[in-house]
Amino acid sequence: MTRRYWNIHLEEMMESGVHFGHGTKKWNPRMAPYISAKRKVIHITNLTRTARFLSEACDLVFDAASRGKTFLMVGTKKKAAYLVVSAAIRARCHYVTKKWIGGMLTNWPTTETRLHKFRDLRAEQKMGKLNRLPKRDAAMLKRKLSILQTYLGGIKYMTGLPDIVIIVDQQEEYMALREYVILGIPTICLIDTVTRILQIFRFQPTMTL
């Protein structure tokens, strides 16, 4: 993989608080190599190492995108959801910002069936077919469409498993991450000093939102 130069500045990372970890009373000892100091009751992560990992992740994403690989961005925390949606839309990636539905990827045939139903209902709504149904039936289908939009709206165009997953917070998305590990999908993840480390392809020690 070709190494490139990315516009990553330690000063900007510090201003954004990227170096702040979790409280010293609640942390994972396996994160020790990535902690540079303690400030009162907070661990401080090593920004130099974080910047290096971030650069490697950027290389991976650039190379994969150049080869037409598909990406899935996941961030269900309220603080992160808007940023994830905005970034995913700009990059034309699939995304999940609501509750992760168990088996979404490991039970892909079921998810695919739901997506087909979702697309069909959206098409029927656009053509006005739902409005021609009895009120009770139309209300039921519109309610179902709303639920599908909430949980599957960000992956409505996904036709298969993603090639790479980007996670905002491993601690929050632990159940989802286990699916990626089972399926062997390369994953880039932002983690905190309290995080349980799994077999992540690339990870960035940083403050999570």
Assess whether 67 and 17 both reside in one domain: yes
Q: Which of 33, 180, 14 is nearest to 96 (CA)?
A: 180
Q: What is the pLDDT of residues 77-102, one digit of tens each?
A: 888 899 999 999 999 999 999 999 99
Residue 43 located in a structural domain: yes
Q: What is the pTM of this model?
A: 0.80
10 Å CB burial of residue 197 (0-12, 13-18, 19+) is: middle
Of the pLDDT bands very low, low, confident and very high (cuts 50, 70, 90), residue 45 is confident
Q: Is residue 1 part of a domain?
A: no
User: Quick one: average pLDDT of 149-168?
Assistant: 94
Instruction: Check residue 52 and give its pLDDT.
Output: 79
Q: Which residue segment(s) compose the domain that 115 sits in? A: 108-148
127 and 67 within one domain:
no
**In the prediction, which pLDDT does 88 show?**
96
- CA dist., res. 25 & res. 22, Å (int): 8
Structure tokens at 94: 């699939």
The distance in angstroms from the start CA to the end CA of the chain is 30
Q: Give the per-residue pLDDT at 16.
A: 64
Tell whether 21 is covered by a domain: yes
Total structural domains in the chain? 2
Question: Is the same domain home to 116 and 57?
Answer: no
Phi, psi of 207 (to 5 degrees): -75, 130
pLDDT given at position 25: 60
List, for residues 181-191, the tens digit of each pLDDT value.
899 998 888 77
Residues 199, 115: Cα–Cα separation, whole Å? 29
What is the pLDDT confidence band of residue 199, given thresholds at 50, 70 and 90? Answer: very low
Q: How far apart are CA 104 and CA 141, in angstroms?
A: 22
Q: Is residue 46 part of a domain?
A: yes
Q: Are 77 and 60 in the same domain?
A: yes
Helices of type H across the chain: 10-15, 47-66, 78-91, 108-126, 135-152, 174-183
**Which region among 44-53, 168-177, 190-199 has the lowest average model confidence (pLDDT)?**
190-199
* Cβ-based neighbours of 153, under 8 Å, separated by 6 or more: none
Report the percent of the chain where pLDDT is more than 70: 72
Residue 3 counted as domain residue? no
Let me know whether 133 and 70 are in one domain. no
